[in-house]
Every structure is written in C-alpha cells, then in structure tokens.
Amino acid sequence: MTAKTRARETPAPAKRPISITAVVDCVGVLATGSMSGQLYLYDTNKAGGSAGFGTEELQTKAAVGDKLLWNCLALECEAYVGIDAVVIDPEVCEPERKVYPGTDVAYWTGIVKKLPAEPVPYEIRFLVGTRAQSVPTTLSPTLTG
C-alpha cells in the first residue's frame, strides 16, 4: 500500500466545534439591568481569524458546516447565569438547547448552514440570578465567513 493510498483511506480527523464562551458579571447585570459592560465573549477560533475577544462584539470566524457551541460562566462563583436563547437568522444557523448528560447544565449548539459576505449579527439572552426576565446582549456578536 502506498502512502497516497493510505492517505485516501484514512478519514480526516473530526473538526472540533467552535466554542463560544460568555463570561458574565452577574452582580453588574443585576445592578444595572443591562449586559452593557458586564459581558466578555471568547471563542476557540482565534487562530482561524476570530477577533474582538473579551468584548461584547466578538467576531467569530466560521465556515459552512462548522459546529458552534455556546456556553456561559458567571464571573462570581456564587451567582447564577444561563443562556435562555441564541437568536440568529435561521437560514445561517438554528441554535438548539442541550443539556450535558446526567446534569442540569445547559448549553446551545448549532451548525453553520450558510454565511453571507457580510457579518451576521446575533443576540444571546441570559438568565441571571433570580431575575424572571432574560437579559439580552446590548451589542451584537457576529459570525463572519
């Protein structure tokens, strides 16, 4: 068997999902009622071209077929934060809420269906503390191709 034949028979390694993590200052959100200045977004695709790390306007570089995974962390360990919804053009991606097996820890995931030439803004809505209403992002993170 030649090296060329082996290369054709060896499947490509599975591509890791792009994980988008929101770090939320829950005390700040509860005090102001807004995400403005209280949200820090990061993703795992910096090497692929993502930008705006640590801001509310994260620009996640993605391609059609990429799996996205949204999760969140509270800046204060004793505070609660969860993602209530990820709102994006359904022609681009349809996020779905999932729960890690054996836990009540939720996350959101979706596959990029298409990416227009322009960045695609989206909104994340958070449940914070015991507040009944979710709090949306003030500025828009985006997906870019």
Does pLDDT of 7 surpass 70?
no
pTM of the model: 0.87
Q: How many angstroms separate the Cα of 9 from the Cα of each of 13, 15, 27, 43, 134?
A: 12, 18, 54, 32, 49
Contacts of 9 (CB under 8 A, 6+ apart): none
State residue 5's pLDDT score. Answer: 47
Report pLDDT digits (tens) over 96-130. 999 999 998 899 999 999 999 999 999 999 999 98
- Picking from 126, 122, 125, the residue whose alpha carbon sits closest to that of residue 142 is 122
pLDDT, the chain, mean: 91
Does pLDDT of 48 surpass 90?
yes
CATH topology of domain 12-144: Immunoglobulin-like (2.60.40)
Token digits of residue 76: 């204060």
Instruction: Please tell me the distance from the alpha carbon of residue 78 to that of residue 39, in angstroms, as a whole number.
Output: 17
- Picking from 15, 74, 18, 73, the residue whose alpha carbon sits closest to that of residue 43 is 18
Does pLDDT of 83 surpass 80?
yes
